[in-house]
């Protein structure tokens, strides 16, 4: 009898897991059907490889040419899945770069493009895997498992994440592309993301204000530190990934403003984590002991913050380093010494983002603790 509740919980979670898998499979096939049906790219087709024939290396025209540009030609039989020739089978030869060619598999689905020359000849290339159903399926599985095992908290976390992504992709990015100042847009986006996240994740109503105020203060501190450092180091923002292309593609875009906006947006997740953790811990202490000494409460909040800070700084800085590994390898391969590395604008820009995020975290701790103390003090005064 003692094992009955445990067995019941196991059955409940197994049922939820089975439901998550069912929803994932449904999402996979739905995405597959809709993506194939809606594919209208004139320059590309989705094809399925029915058979793979011989493969050969194309000789280099110049023996001194870099082997990186070596190409291969592979004989295939494909079935067209999109466009006017849907359902038809064709034999063709596809060309791929040898250095980074795709591993073509019988039965796999790929994106095919054709380049037509003046003499009427065509060169076919497979440029990518058709992975839309797998992407949707993996995302659906993660979301379904989160809701299945975390319940309402998981669902609300997904709602907050979804609204945050909508805010960035359908508010910040289009308006910044139109030429509006990116920094004010980033402030609005950060405020919206913070409000949505706090109200979706934090259950105690009295905790929400302190978490929100501490988070916004930390985000503002991250921007201010980034602004001062960028001015002192005279960074233009052009050293970032894609920044030169963006500057030449969209006339009048504020590249430096985009850099400062990215500092706030990239740090808000870690800052929110710290702010919510501190306010939750302090609210829990007050709930456990409503008459707890305010100084003791303050010390506890700061201690919790410093404990969380170590892992959050690791998360923040390692995330920046991880995304910058290709550029770091290029700089290292160029033979740059330590001093040249420290003077490189790309390294400087990554350092600004890392240090600004760290300063935002540092500021979030005392701000959140202070706002929590003020809330408790005001509550006690009002109840007297």
Tens digit of each residue's pLDDT (9 = 90 or more) over 172-223 = 999 988 888 999 999 999 999 999 999 888 888 878 889 999 999 999 999 9
176 in any annotated domain: no
| Least confident residue range of 62-71, 109-118, 193-202 | 62-71
Q: Is residue 186 part of a domain?
A: no
Residue 189 lies in a domain: no
Dig out the tokens for 198 from the structure.
């706090």
**Whether residue 98 is found in the same domain as residue 221:** no
Picking from 88, 136, 131, 94, the residue whose alpha carbon sits closest to that of residue 109 is 131
Q: 70 and 57 in contact (C-beta within 8 Å)?
A: yes
The total number of structural domains in the chain stands at 2
Is the pLDDT score of 24 beyond 80? yes
273 SS3 class: helix
Phi, psi of 254 (to 5 degrees): -85, 95
Q: Is residue 195 part of a domain?
A: no
Q: Domain check: are 232 and 129 in the same one?
A: no
Whole-structure pTM value: 0.79
Under 8 Å between Cβ of 191 and 216: yes
Domain boundary among 123, 139, 155: 139
User: Are residue 241 and residue 134 in the same domain, yes or no?
Assistant: no
- Residue 42's pLDDT is 67
Q: What is the pLDDT of residue 196?
A: 92
pLDDT of the residue at 4: 65
**Position 192 in a domain:** no
Residue 163 resides in a domain: no
Q: Are residues 233 and 362 in the same domain?
A: yes
Cα Rg of the chain, angstroms: 27
Q: How far is residue 82 CA from its own chain's centroid?
A: 30
138 — pLDDT class (breaks 50, 70, 90)? very high
In eight-state DSSP terms, residue 103 is -
For residues 107 and 382, give the distance between their C-alpha atoms in angstroms, rounded to a whole number.
Answer: 71
What is the average per-residue pLDDT within 229-240? Answer: 84
Other C-beta atoms closer than 10 Å to the C-beta of 143 total 20
> Percentage of the chain with pLDDT > 90?
25
Q: Mean pLDDT, the chain, as a whole number? A: 84
Tally of residues, the chain = 384
Has residue 1 got a pLDDT over 60?
Answer: no
- Measured CA to CA, the distance from residue 17 to residue 354 in angstroms comes to 38
pLDDT(286) > 80:
yes
pLDDT at 65: 54
On whether the CB atoms of residues 125 and 115 are closer than 8 A, the answer is yes
Q: Range of 40's domain?
A: 1-58+70-139
Segment (H or E) for 321? helix 294-323
pLDDT at 68: 62
Same domain, 135 and 231: no
Over range 332-349, report the average pLDDT.
73
pLDDT of residue 371: 92
pLDDT at 61: 66
Q: Quick one: angle between helices 345-383 and 294-323, nearest 10?
A: 160
The whole-number pLDDT of residue 34 equals 93
Tell me if residue 86 falls in helix, strand or coil.
coil
Region for residue 259 given its phi and psi (left: phi exceeds 0; alpha: psi -120 to 50; beta: otherwise): alpha
Sorting pLDDT into bands at 50, 70 and 90, what band is 57? confident
pLDDT at 38 over 70: yes
User: Is the pLDDT higher at 329 or at 263?
Assistant: 263
Between 4 and 32, the more confident residue is 32
Residue whose pair of structure tokens reads 């050293």 in the numeric block: 239
Q: Is 112 within 8 Å of 124 (Cβ atoms)?
A: yes
126 forms beta bridges with 112
Q: Which of 124, 139, 154 delimits the end of a domain?
A: 139
Last residue of a domain, one of 139, 173, 194: 139
What pLDDT shows up at residue 120?
A: 67
Most confident region among 32-46, 184-198, 234-248, 344-358 by mean pLDDT: 184-198
For residue 134, what pLDDT is reported?
Answer: 93
Closest to 219 measured CA to CA, from 240, 198, 243? 198
Here the tokens at position 157 are 């976390």
> By percentage, how much of the chain surpasses pLDDT 70?
91
């Amino acid at each position: 009898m003692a094992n009955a509740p445990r067995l019941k919980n196991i059955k409940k979670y197994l049922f939820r897991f089975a439901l998550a898998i069912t929803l994932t499979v449904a999402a996979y096939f739905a995405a597959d059907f809709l993506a194939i049906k809606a594919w209208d790219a004139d320059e590309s087709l989705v094809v399925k490889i029915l058979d793979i024939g011989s493969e050969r290396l194309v000789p280099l025209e110049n023996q001194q040419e870099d082997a990186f540009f070596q190409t291969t030609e592979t004989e295939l039989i494909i079935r067209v899945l999109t466009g006017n020739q849907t359902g038809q089978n064709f034999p063709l030869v596809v060309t791929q770069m040898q250095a980074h060619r795709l591993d073509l598999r019988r039965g796999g689905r790929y994106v095919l493009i054709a380049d037509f020359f003046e003499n009427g000849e065509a060169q076919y290339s497979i440029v990518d895997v058709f992975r839309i159903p797998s992407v949707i399926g993996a995302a659906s599985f993660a979301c379904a498992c989160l809701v299945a095992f975390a319940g309402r908290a998981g669902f609300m976390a997904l709602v907050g994440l979804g609204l945050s992504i909508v805010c960035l992709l359908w508010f910040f990015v289009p308006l910044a592309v139109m030429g509006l100042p990116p920094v004010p847009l980033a402030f609005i986006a950060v405020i919206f993301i913070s409000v949505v996240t706090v109200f979706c994740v934090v259950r105690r109503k009295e905790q929400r204000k302190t978490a929100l105020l501490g988070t916004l203060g930390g985000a503002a501190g991250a921007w201010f530190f980034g602004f001062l450092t960028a001015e002192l180091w005279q960074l233009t923002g052009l050293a970032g990934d894609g920044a030169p292309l963006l500057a030449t593609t969209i006339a009048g875009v504020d590249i430096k403003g985009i850099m400062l906006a990215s500092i706030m947006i990239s740090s808000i997740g870690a800052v929110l984590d710290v702010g919510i953790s501190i306010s939750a811990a302090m609210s829990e202490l007050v709930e456990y002991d409503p008459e707890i000494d305010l100084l003791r409460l303050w010390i506890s909040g700061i201690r919790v913050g410093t404990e969380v800070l170590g892992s959050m700084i690791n998360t923040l800085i390692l995330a920046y380093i991880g995304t910058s590994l290709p550029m770091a390898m290029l700089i290292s391969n160029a033979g740059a010494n330590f001093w040249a590395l420290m003077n490189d604008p790309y390294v400087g820009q990554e350092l600004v983002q890392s240090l600004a995020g760290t300063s935002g975290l540092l500021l979030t701790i005392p701000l959140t603790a202070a706002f929590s103390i003020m809330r408790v003090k005001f509550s006690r005064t009002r109840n007297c």
